[in-house]
A and B are shown apart, each in its own frame.
Chain A
Amino acid sequence: MAKVLYIDFERCIGCRACMLGCEECSGHDHLSRMFVDELNPGETVATSPTPCMHCVQPACAESCPVQAIQVTEDGAVLSASHEKCIACKNCTYACPFGIPRVDEQRKIMYKCDLCYDRTSKGRPPMCVSVCPTDTIQFLDEAEAKAKLDKQVQFKWDFGGTVIETRTVIGIPDLQTHRYGYNEVTEDVL
């Protein structure tokens, strides 16, 4: 069974070790393919990591005019192949999550490849390996989707177009905790 990224938003401490770790993976040329965002700056310190969502039908690959973006048997959507990529940025515009970037100097797209050199050898990706809080985990797809203690999301509605992703997000329990997603009331202060 293929393994996927599972991301438990609530645990992220915004340390960006995932980004630094991503840079250390051989084949990543010291360029991070991970993004970490502040969710509500000024209100809280909540953050969340965004790797590639590894879409089931990846718009990046579909939009690529030269078919430079391969999808592995396990469903990992790879970085553009050096030989084929023409740095046209179609993938960047097509991706609903804004993931692929183009290295302007070398004129080549780079994106999360699920650390294919590591995962193909049975090791977890670098971001998963280093994340100090287990925010990012590498789980069997079924296990990630059936997380019992969490509401999970892997289908996203973009104005009527539903995108299914292999990366699964664990949603914080907003009933019991704010986790910075709601307005911080004066009561907290």
Chain B
Amino acid sequence: MPHPQNADYSQRTYAAIEREGEVLIPTHCCFCGMQCGMNIRVDKDSNQVLGVEPRYDFPMNGGRLCPKGVAAYRQAIHPERLLRPLIRKNGQLVESAWDEAMDLIVSKIRDIQGKYGKDAFGIYSGSSMTNEKCYLVGKFARIGLGTKHIDYNGRYCMSSAAAGFNQTLGIDRGGTNPWSDIKFADVLLIAGSNTAECHPLSMPYVWGARDNGAKLIVVDPRQTKTALVADIHLNLKPGTDLALVNGLIHVLIKEDMINHEFVKNHTSGFEDLKAMAEKYPPEVAARITGLPKERIVEAARIFGQAKNGMVLFARGVEQHAKGSDSVSNYTNLCLITGKIGRKGSGVATFTGQGNGQGGREHGQKADQLPGYRKITDPEARKYIAGVWGVDESEIPGPGISAFELLKALGKEVKGLLLICSNPMVSAPSLGDVKQYLTSLEFFVCMDFFLSESAELADVVLPSTVWIEDNGTTTNVEGRVIRINGIDKTPGEARRDWEVLCELADRLGRGQFFRYNSPQEIFDELRVASRGGIADYFGITYEKIEKMDGVFWPCPSVEHEGTPRLFEDRKFNFPDGKARLLAFEHKGPNEDVDQEYPLLLTTGRVVYHYLSGNQTRRIDSLRDKCPDPYVEIHPETAKRYGIENGHYVKISSRRGYIVVPAKITKITRPDMVFVPYHWGKTLAINNLTNPALDPKSKIPEFKVCAVKIEPTKQQEVRHG
């Protein structure tokens, strides 16, 4: 019997097939925030990973998996796994003993911190790790190393959603509703998300709503697989979301599709929003976005007239220098029409990284302590110091955000520990990033494959893939789930939490890092998060098992978690009211001009995950999409004399790449699109703009000015 909270999901009732001599380990996919349930088939005697078997009873996906999920197990048995530590000797990374590597790291940390102060050694981490590891990395930075310099790659992913939700709702949980609620919407507005390719397992919920007659509005410059089945596709010019939403709000107000009761009792700021929207009649919104005005009006009517509706968005909205404000503006649509806090009504962002949600809750961010506590808040500092058993003064102050941290390398920060991230593919303006990383005095990296970034390190420590450890992650809904692992690691690879604890020990801080298992770390995390916004105190491993995941906030052991936020219509501000904030459209940081006349936008393909460090190595995924390409509209291609499959040089003010053309009508004539999962000469982030959103510090990945030209040069090779 499923727990009642899971009754509306797309579960199926079959039992998994078990084969002789095998055990099934019920766990979750390591890719993307859906965190689909799956069974890993493991040989009973040797503990060898053999394959995957659907886990029909997990509510979120009911056994369904995207190609990445089906192939995920293959990385555990991949021949390119790092098996022993690597140390750079005479310019080459050579296999070495653990002791030598650890001695070297500790002496370098001591040396650098002795010479330049504690903050001279930084940590740059990731969000594809378990909550336990994310928590531990934050603690290790603050009281293992004593540095303020820690931040993580979630800055490239969801920080705008976090900042936007915080300023509007006062709390940042990526989804206000359980995913099964999507099925009960009468209208879905999906913006800046190619849901079908990037979060395929959301599609049963989208189709669930469609089967009940829901209308689908898709906002995306490209006619993606998601847009293909929409009732209305708003293929706006990249970077014009604020203007579009202002236009939609204008129509909603003009045609009185506002929930006045809700606006009056549960929000503040409506008059300012109204005054702003006044300036964006459909004609104006149409001119800025490049859409027909009728389509804006129609979309507003469909959204406004529906009883229940959800607004869902992703990086297409967030990765802009105005990303946080765009998130708030889309959220305004739900607030002014009263579509929040009940089944089928709410707002959510699709989490990109596996643990994008949990990863940003427990102290990896430069300005935060566990449970979303502000590192500058004296109360929060006092509480966490108590949990950690240190003096409050030992907790450093706030550091700087991920891209700012990269820029500080070689200057303020002389040594860096990189965990579970690959900035040499994922950061913007990569030419600069390489310079930053190579100007370090000491660079140590933990990874299980030799990523583009690890290749530059002085020491590389071999770590484990998700299936080789235990822990929890927090999915797109805010559901905390259990990752179960096998009791085996390849070669001499070691789990990163064990390595961090040993490093702390060697640095003389071992007394704060005595854990025998991830569960012990989790139990400390529960206490550390207690009373914070992301309160995990009532969540235990047993309860997660029993309920197929527990939604935070869960403040007490008796509490069953909170699948749906704001059912009481109390928003997380002292007055309990959500804030309607008004924003002027200013356009992207970089505009087109004569030299760079086209807009570039980037995104994912279904076969690859983030920097591709994992998925590019798995044959069955790589075969399906081995190299990047550039999507060009036929009209544009004609103008530049480019034919399908021909090589094209795309350049921005920061760099260039050469990739083959894919001529297609799914894109706009004034833009081109390139997927971002490749490194080195195939990395589109050689071109992207590092302009940061002032609130979230997310770079403006989604729009910059470029030029294209046909070329004979062929640089494409399997990246």
Q: Which residues of A contact B (CB under 8 A)?
A: 10-11, 13-17, 19-21, 23-24, 26, 41-47, 118, 121-124, 126, 129-134, 149, 177, 179-180, 184, 188-189
Confirm or deny: B78 has a beta carbon within 8 angstroms of a beta carbon on chain A.
no
A20 touches B71 (CB 8 A): yes
The residue that A16 contacts in the complex, of B14, B624, B663, with Cβ under 8 A, is: B624
Interface centre among B66, B69, B201, B233 (most CB of A within 10 A): B66
A149 touches B233 (CB 8 A): no
In the bound complex, CA of A13 to CA of B67 (Å): 11
B17 touches A118 (CB 8 A): yes
B211 to chain A, nearest CB (A): 7
A131 touches B666 (CB 8 A): no
B14 touches A17 (CB 8 A): no
B15 to chain A, nearest CB (A): 8
B235 touches A121 (CB 8 A): no
Q: List 21 A-B contacts (CB under 8 A).
A: A13-B203, A14-B225, A15-B197, A16-B67, A20-B67, A20-B620, A43-B665, A47-B225, A122-B14, A123-B14, A130-B54, A130-B64, A131-B64, A132-B64, A132-B66, A132-B201, A134-B203, A179-B229, A180-B228, A184-B665, A189-B223
Confirm or deny: B486 has a beta carbon within 8 angstroms of a beta carbon on chain A.
no
Q: Which residues of B contact A (CB under 8 A)?
A: 14, 17, 19, 51-54, 56, 61, 63-67, 69-71, 196-197, 200-201, 203-204, 207, 211, 223-225, 228-229, 233, 235, 606-607, 620, 624, 633-634, 644, 663-666, 668-669
In the bound complex, CA of A11 to CA of B202 (Å): 12
B63 touches A10 (CB 8 A): no
**Nearest opposing residue in chain B for A130, CB measure:** B65
B63 touches A130 (CB 8 A): yes
Please name all residues of chain B whose beta carbon is closer than 8 Å to the beta carbon of A24 when the two chains form the complex. 51-53, 70
A9 to chain B, nearest CB (A): 11
**Nearest opposing residue in chain A for B644, CB measure:** A42
B200 touches A13 (CB 8 A): yes
B618 to chain A, nearest CB (A): 10
**Nearest opposing residue in chain B for A15, CB measure:** B606
A133 touches B204 (CB 8 A): yes
B669 touches A129 (CB 8 A): no
B17 touches A121 (CB 8 A): yes
B66 touches A15 (CB 8 A): yes
**Nearest opposing residue in chain A for B55, CB measure:** A129
Given the contacts A17-B66, A17-B70, A124 and B14 also touching, CB distance less than 8 Å: yes
The residue that B67 contacts in the complex, of A17, A26, A188, with Cβ under 8 A, is: A17
A17 touches B211 (CB 8 A): no
Please name all residues of chain A whose beta carbon is closer than 8 Å to the beta carbon of B225 when the two chains form the complex. 13-14, 45, 47
Please name all residues of chain B whose beta carbon is closer than 8 Å to the beta carbon of A121 when the two chains form the complex. 17
Given the contacts A16-B624, A45-B225, A129-B56, A189 and B669 also touching, CB distance less than 8 Å: yes
In the bound complex, CA of A180 to CA of B211 (Å): 20
**Nearest opposing residue in chain A for B665, CB measure:** A184
**Nearest opposing residue in chain B for A131, CB measure:** B64
B207 touches A134 (CB 8 A): yes
In the bound complex, CA of A188 to CA of B607 (Å): 27
A133 touches B665 (CB 8 A): no
The residue that A132 contacts in the complex, of B200, B233, B607, with Cβ under 8 A, is: B200
In the bound complex, CA of A131 to CA of B196 (Å): 12
**Nearest opposing residue in chain B for A186, CB measure:** B665
A45 touches B17 (CB 8 A): no
A133 touches B624 (CB 8 A): no
Interface centre among B54, B67, B228, B606 (most CB of A within 10 A): B228
Please name all residues of chain A whose beta carbon is closer than 8 Å to the beta carbon of B51 when the two chains form the complex. 24
A21 touches B197 (CB 8 A): no
Please name all residues of chain A whose beta carbon is closer than 8 Å to the beta carbon of B665 when the two chains form the complex. 42-44, 184, 188-189
**Nearest opposing residue in chain A for B16, CB measure:** A123
List 8 extra interface pairs beyond A16-B607, A21-B70, A45-B225, CB under 8 A.
Answer: A14-B225, A20-B620, A24-B51, A43-B664, A132-B64, A134-B64, A188-B233, A188-B235
